[in-house]
Structure 1
Amino acid sequence: MLRRVVITGMSGVSALGNDWSTVKSGLLAYKNKVVRMESWDRYQDLNTRLAAPVTDYSPPAHWTRKQLRSMGKVAQMCTQAAENALADAGLLGDESIKDGRMGVACGSSTGSPQDIRDISELVLNGSSANFNANTYVRIMPHTTAANLSIFFGLTGRVIPTSSACASGNQAIGYAYEAIKSGKIDMMLAGGGEELCVSEAFVFDSLYATSLRNENPELSPSPYDADRDGLVIGEGAGILVLEEYEMAKARGARIYAEVVGFACTSDGSHITRPERTTMRRCMQMALEDAHLPPAEVGYINGHGTATEQGDIAETLATADVFGYVPISSQKSYLGHTLGACGALESWFSIHMMNEGWFAPTLNLNQIDSRCGELDYIVNKARKIDTEFVMNNNFAFGGVNSSLIFKRMS
């Protein structure tokens, strides 16, 4: 018998803030968090200077040196988000979660870039002042999932999801499937990413970064006819998922129910998005939720402000839903890569529960090649809906869709 899966705790670390009240204020201020990175001026071969960093980040003061030594910044942000999400769910410090009934699903595009630099220095020069026994632990692809498990003493299943910008969405989806099928009762699920100039270089080499270096407030501009590329961001988001009857029995506050998830592969090009497989992913999530498209009242779009991505995504969305409301929070935070699925799910659930949805910033003229959708622009839109979908599509042809239901 399949079980119901609900969300009882949520938190994140982002350029907009680390709690919903602060994030909400930032979204309703209609100003992005993109800045010009003066420190990147020394990279002569880099064209973009834009990013959306989490400024002045430091781990919580009560963490010990022993706890911190295995964590780079990406793992620290995920762990902080998880600690706050567990507190939000009323489970922080609860010894019962250590008996094997709680697991972790979490990922990022890579481990901590600082430690990758340290090991690269060792390989290139034969020595590295900062290389030590924990360097690999901080750079390994599953550093976020492993550190969450160890920090909180969780002995349930571990699902690393290092799938670029699908990492957060896939983590939530796989956690949902594990609980739904009876394999485990509770999961921490989400993702994170640590800002590094190397990520900007990657997208720069693909001619995919925004070059509005002197006007950071004008970029990125998803779905806009004059968009000029993406902006890299950073952060982390973690949700607490648990089986519905257990959550109800312990009197937990329930934010939403996870009712649908799907993941597909393009099976073609490593970086070029495919309308057909994106469409199939959304259709499969609807089938999993046993929902007709008309029931979904809002789509949190991937919306990276890249030409091919925006066009393929919106055409696929229009194919499935028709004229549905859509917006992209990447216009506020930039592309947070492994974190975006979790952060955007967190935002979507709160907005659904409060009956409003943030607009896409810098969307002044919709690209005529994009799908015919109800793009939310200029200011927040009041929408009363029981269901929202969050989509993320990653390099490697990884497509992911989640559907959340409001709990009345």
Structure 2
Amino acid sequence: MRRVVVTGMAGITPLGANWGDIRAAMHEGRTGIKYIEAWDKLTDLKTRLGAPADYFEHEKIFPRKQMRSMGRVAAFAVRSAEEALSQAGLLDDPILKSGRTGVAFGSSYGSTEPTKGFVRFMETGEATGLSAMSYIKMMSHTAVINVGIFFGLRGRVITTSSACTSGSQAIGYSYEAIKYGHADVMIAGGAEELCPTMAIVFDTLFATSCKNDAPQTTPQPYDQNRDGLVIGEGGAALILEEREHAIARGAPILAELVGFGTNMDGSHVTDPLAETMGGSLTLALNDAGLAPDAIGFVSGHGTATIQGDIAETKATSAVLGADMPIHSLKGYFGHTLGACGAIEAWLAIEMMRDGRFAPNINLAKVDERCAPLDYITGGFRAIDAQYVMSNNFAFGGVNTSLIFRREP
């Protein structure tokens, strides 16, 4: 089997668009959670909290002609891919248009603004505000299509709109595409924009944090006093490449992707099952040919919801043991939905390369219903991890696990 390495990675988060800025914010104990005043008019929405990447002015990123088909979701995806390709040294490489470079990208939904026009049309019959590009911006595969068109890609295309596993499945399926010879290079990632429609989904499930007067204290993954999640936005992209191809052109090798597992619970749309969650971790370990004790650190999903946190930690502890170090980054960025798997994989690699892992912010006392694990608190923890695992779980019981190896 062909080996798959990471040669570029980049992203946009509520705390910044490069690892240096994000790391500095984490060291200072800052988060991207804010009170969203624009949501005050939404009287039936209980939460007023979100994690915007408000410095990212998506309509000004590219020339107007290139932006015609891009909403905010697509702009997150294309900009992340552009920066990652630049790091990989592939931005102007002929391989992009050779048919041997593909793309896998996902989001929970496309951009929501055009939806208003379609609703207005259905209610009134008037198409005011709709254009030829409205559906392209709104469609669930807007990210993958816009990335492909922007860079002129002609290879394999994989659309992964699977909610919170969109980004991690995109990375995993890209890994398989290269591993089995269907591509030499894949652009993989996820993107999501902040929208109150995303918040109301969880609001109706009583799963959003309503600590509206104290944004910096929430969400609280794994904590006994957590009251729910906070929606965030952003995007990230990894450039995956066949290892010999990367070596031949002298590319930077940032990590190796060695294992991928995905499955589904097949039992309930919103109540996760620890047994099958753990099965996805085991699938990734088996794919990598690793024993559980080879994993040095786990980047957890940790949404700060009761059912999710409990099931995830039970699965993780059962497969990897009670001493496994773990954190969730959602205390810093909120839940970026379709983007979280890509953002968390990117930052897991950055921390593995640094040998220092961020703590769980806002975690004061672990919920006794969560399984025993080494929940990192306080400051950054020095860990010499050769392998890190990044896990994500989505509505419908979709489970994913990725394992990265540190490049010597």
TM-score by length of 1: 0.98
CA deviations 1:16-47 (Å, max 9, x no partner) are 11111111112222221100111111111110
Aligned to 2:400: 400
Q: Is the 8 A contact 1:105 1:174 kept in 2?
A: yes
Q: Which runs of 4+ in 1 moved over 4 A?
A: none
Aligned to 2:170: 171
- C-alpha deviation, 1:61, in angstroms: 5.1
CA deviations 1:168-223 (Å, max 9, x no partner) are 00000000001001111000000000110001100000000001000001100000
Aligned to 1:302: 301
Q: Is the 8 A contact 1:60 1:80 kept in 2?
A: no
Q: Is the 8 A contact 1:105 1:189 kept in 2?
A: yes
1:144-155 to structure 2, matched below 5 A, reads 144-155=143-154
What is the identity, as a one-letter code, of the residue corresponding to 1:171? A
Q: Which runs of 5+ in 2 are unaligned?
A: none
Cα distance in 2 between the residues matched to 1:327 and 1:258: 20
Cα distance in 2 between the residues matched to 1:61 and 1:367: 44
Q: Is the 8 A contact 2:59 2:67 kept in 1?
A: no
Cα distance in 1 between the residues matched to 2:297 and 2:124: 52
Farther-moved stretch of structure 1 (112-121 vs 99-108): 112-121
CA deviations 1:93-117 (Å, max 9, x no partner) are 2223211110000000001011122
Identity of aligned residues (%): 53
Q: Is the 8 A contact 1:70 1:138 kept in 2?
A: yes
2:275 is the counterpart of 1:276: yes
Aligned to 2:336: 336
2:296 is paired with a residue whose SS is: strand
1:341 is paired with a residue whose SS is: helix
Cα distance in 1 between the residues matched to 2:23 and 2:222: 23
Aligned to 2:387: 387
Aligned to 2:356: 356
Farther-moved stretch of structure 1 (125-134 vs 271-280): 125-134
What is the identity, as a one-letter code, of the residue corresponding to 2:281? M
What is the identity, as a one-letter code, of the residue corresponding to 1:24? R
Aligned to 1:267: 266
Aligned to 2:289: 290
> Structure 1 residues 208 and 61 mapped into 2: Cα distance closer, same or farther (>3 Å)?
closer
CA deviations 1:136-183 (Å, max 9, x no partner) are 111111110000000000000100000000000000000000100111
Cα distance in 1 between the residues matched to 2:219 and 2:172: 27
For this pair of structures, how many residues does the alignment match? 407
What is the identity, as a one-letter code, of the residue corresponding to 1:193? E
Cα distance in 2 between the residues matched to 1:181 and 1:309: 33
What is the identity, as a one-letter code, of the residue corresponding to 1:170? Q
Q: Is the 8 A contact 2:302 2:330 kept in 1?
A: yes
Aligned to 1:123: 122
Q: Which runs of 5+ in 1 are unaligned?
A: none
What is the identity, as a one-letter code, of the residue corresponding to 2:96? I
2:89 is the counterpart of 1:102: no
Q: Is the 8 A contact 1:259 1:403 kept in 2?
A: yes
Kindly report the root-mean-square deviation, in angstroms, between the aligned alpha carbons of the 2 structures: 1.0
What is the identity, as a one-letter code, of the residue corresponding to 1:263? T
